[in-house]
Amino acid sequence: MSNWNATIIGPGHSVYQNRIYSLSIHCGQSYPDRPPEVKFLTKINLPCVKADGSIDYNALPIFSHWSRDSTLETILLSLRSSQTTDATSFRLSHYYREMASPANRKLPQPAEGASY
């Protein structure tokens, strides 16, 4: 199982609120030693997302500081939310900032449902 589809529901109190974002995830042969390839299928305006929907690994700490302890859940949480509830999330809370960060909360977004 190396190809996955994922969905993120945008966090509240942001321009992403209640929007549904589809992503594709490919875990190559070197996973978990190297991060998977992650790409948004639904258009989104985030500094860590390139024009084709792929993730800029240098702009997102979960990728630039990858460890084999990181999970697909951690990746999705890092893209979605700054809300943390459990010990693991608390430990990784500095990763959980993209959609919910104050700087990104008000970025203009493509029309809902637009795809790459």
Q: Where are the domains of the chain?
A: 3-95
Query: pLDDT digits over 11-32, tens only?
Result: 888 888 889 999 999 999 999 9
> 3-95: what CATH class?
alpha beta
Over pLDDT 90: what percentage of the chain? Answer: 47
All residues at 6 or more sequence positions from 67 whose CB lies less than 8 Å from its CB, including other chains: none
60 to 2, 97, 104, 111, 114: CA distances (angstroms): 22, 9, 13, 24, 23
Query: pLDDT digits over 79-97, tens only?
Result: 886 333 344 444 444 444 6
